[in-house]
C-alpha cells in the first residue's frame, strides 16, 4: 500500500449537550511516513481527533482526508480495516489466541490461510515475541507482551496509517521505555503514517517527528518538530506545558555522536611522565587517560606518575562512566551525574570515540 498523509480541514466536533466544542475548526496535516504526536492536557480533544480519523467519532463539520481521499465518502468498515488501531487498554480478544488476535484484520479482509500464517510469523518476530506464544491466550501474557500483540494486530494487514491512543500509558515505566524504543526502530523500518496520542510530553518528544501541542477545546497551540517546539515555544501555554525542564528535554533529542567530542587528556602508553604532564597542563586537569592501540586502558592521577617509567606500565583506574555514541545527551548526563563524575567515555561500538564532559553537555542545554 502506498504512503498516506492525513489532512484535517476546518474540523469541528461538538458533543451532544456540550456547551463548548471538543475540537474547533482544526486544520492540520500529518505527513506520510512520519509520526505525529498529539499531546495536551485532558480535554484537549486529542483522542477525539484520533477517533475522527477512523470514524469511530464523526466530526460535526469539516473534512478529513486520508491518502487524499475524503473519508466521509468511504465505507467506515473498509476504512477502518485499512488503518491500524492501538488503544491503551489493548483490547485483545480474550477468547482468541495470540495468533488468532493478530489474524483479525486479515480474516476480515478474507486473506487465505497460508498468507495469513506467513504474516503472523513475520509479525510475531517483528514485535519481539516468542513464536510459541502464538498459541497462548491474552490472559496468560504480561501487560507489555499484550501491547506487543496489540501492535502486531494493528500492523497485520500492513496498513499505511496507524492510530495509537496512549498505547503505552498502562504499562510500567521500564516496559514503557522499551516499547517506545521498539516502536521507534520499527518505524525506522516501516515508515508508517502514525498518529500518536499521549499526555506525556517526553513521550511525544521522543517518538514524534512532529509534535502538536493542543489546548482544551482542540486548539492547536503549536505544531512543529520537537526541537523547534523546545527551542522556541510559540506562546505561554506551550512554554508552561513543556515545563521547567525544557532544556533537559532538548538533551533527549540530541545523540551523543552528534556533538563534537573531546579527545580529552589522553596520552599513548609509550609516553613518559613529562609528556603526560604536558597534556594535563594543556587540558587543565590533574589526571591523564592512557590509550594503547586506539583502546582506552584507564587513567592515573598526576601524583601517581613515576619518573623513568612509561605511563603504560603504571596500574590504571578504570573509567566508570561509559556511554554509547547512540545514546542521547540526556542519558549521558544521567550516567555522569549519578556516578558523581565529570566526564563520560564514549564508545562507538567497541571503538573509543572520545570524551563527553559536563561542560560540553551544558552547552547544549541552552540553544
Partner 1 sequence: MIPESTFLASDPLIRWSWIWDHLEEIRTQTIEHFILTGIAVGVGFAIAMGLSIIALRFRRTYGPVTWVTGVLYTIPSLALFAFLVPYTGLSTLTAEIGLVSYTLLILVRNIVAGIDGVSPAVREAAVGMGYGRARLFLEIELPLALPVIVAGLRIATVTVIGLVTVTSIIGQGGLGLFILDGLRRDFYTPLIVGSVLSVALAVVIDAALAGVEWLLSPWSRMRMAR
Enumerate binding residues for partner 1 (CB under 8 A): 54, 56, 77-81, 85, 87-96, 104-105, 108, 136-137, 139-140, 150, 153-154, 163
* φ/ψ bin of 145: left (φ > 0), alpha (ψ from -120 to 50), beta (otherwise): alpha
- Shortest Å, Cβ 137 to partner 1: 4
Q: Which three cell numbers stand for residue 21?
A: 466544542
Q: Residue 54 or 266: which CB sits closer to partner 1? A: 54
Rounded least distance, CB 326 to partner 1, Å: 34
Which lies closer to partner 1 via its Cβ, residue 66 or residue 105?
A: 105
Shortest reach from residue 189's CB to partner 1, in Å? 22
Of the pair 94, 349, the CB lying nearest partner 1 is at 94
**Closer to partner 1 by Cβ: residue 80 or 250:** 80
Instruction: Return the exposure string of 86-125: e unless at least 16 CB atoms fall within 10 Å of the residue's CB, then b.
Output: bbbebebeeeebbbbbbbbbbeeeebeeeebeebbeebbe
- Residue 80 or 206 with smaller CB distance to partner 1: 80
CB of 143 to partner 1, least distance (A): 13
CA neighbor of 319 nearest in space, from 302, 348, 303, 295: 295
| Least distance from partner 1 to the Cβ atom of residue 195, Å | 13
Q: Nearest Cα to 99, choosing from 83, 113, 117?
A: 117
Dist CA 325 CA 330 (whole Å):
12
User: Residue 146: is it exposed, middle or buried by C-beta count within 10 angstroms (0-12/13-18/19+)?
Assistant: buried
Amino acid at each position: 500500500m502506498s504512503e498516506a498523509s492525513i489532512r484535517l480541514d476546518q474540523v469541528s466536533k461538538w458533543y451532544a449537550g456540550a456547551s463548548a466544542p471538543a475540537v474547533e475548526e482544526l486544520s492540520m496535516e500529518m505527513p506520510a511516513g512520519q509520526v505525529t504526536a498529539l499531546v495536551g492536557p485532558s480535554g484537549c480533544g486529542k483522542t477525539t481527533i484520533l477517533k475522527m480519523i477512523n470514524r469511530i467519532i464523526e466530526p460535526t463539520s469539516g473534512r478529513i482526508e486520508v491518502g487524499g481521499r475524503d473519508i466521509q465518502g468511504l465505507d467506515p468498515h473498509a476504512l477502518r480495516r485499512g488503518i491500524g488501531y492501538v488503544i491503551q487498554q489493548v483490547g485483545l480478544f480474550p477468547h482468541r489466541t495470540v495468533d488468532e488476535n493478530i489474524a483479525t484484520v486479515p480474516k476480515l479482509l478474507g486473506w487465505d490461510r497460508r498468507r495469513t500464517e506467513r504474516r503472523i510469523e513475520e509479525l510475531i518476530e517483528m514485535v519481539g515475541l516468542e513464536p510459541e506464544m502464538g498459541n497462548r491466550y491474552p490472559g496468560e501474557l504480561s501487560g507489555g507482551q499484550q501491547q506487543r500483540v496489540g501492535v502486531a494486530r494493528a500492523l497485520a494487514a500492513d496498513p499505511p496509517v496507524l492510530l495509537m491512543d496512549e498505547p503505552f500509558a498502562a504499562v510500567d515505566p521500564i516496559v514503557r521505555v522499551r516499547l517506545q524504543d521498539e516502536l521507534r526502530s520499527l518505524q525506522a523500518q516501516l515508515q508508517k503514517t502514525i498518529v500518536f496520542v499521549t499526555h506525556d510530553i517526553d513521550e511525544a518528544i521522543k517518538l514524534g517527528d512532529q509534535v502538536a501541542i493542543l489546548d482544551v477545546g482542540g486548539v492547536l497551540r503549536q505544531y512543529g518538530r520537537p526541537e523547534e517546539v523546545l527551542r522556541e515555544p510559540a506562546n505561554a501555554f506551550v512554554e508552561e506545558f513543556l515545563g521547567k525542564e525544557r532544556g533537559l528535554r532538548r538533551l533527549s533529542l540530541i545523540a551523543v555522536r552528534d556533538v563534537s567530542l573531546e579527545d580529552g587528556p589522553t596520552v599513548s602508553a609509550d609516553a613518559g611522565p613529562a609528556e603526560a604532564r604536558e597534556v594535563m597542563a594543556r587540558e587543565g586537569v590533574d589526571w591523564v587517560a592512557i590509550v594503547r592501540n586506539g583502546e582506552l586502558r584507564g587513567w592515573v592521577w598526576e601524583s601517581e606518575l613515576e619518573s623513568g617509567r612509561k605511563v603504560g606500565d603504571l596500574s590504571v583506574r578504570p573509567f566508570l562512566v561509559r556511554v554509547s555514541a547512540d545514546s542521547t545527551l540526556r542519558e549521558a548526563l544521567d550516567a555522569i551525574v549519578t556516578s558523581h563524575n565529570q566526564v563520560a567515555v564514549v564508545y562507538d561500538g567497541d571503538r573509543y570515540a572520545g570524551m563527553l564532559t559536563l561542560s560540553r553537555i551544558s552547552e547544549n542545554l541552552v540553544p
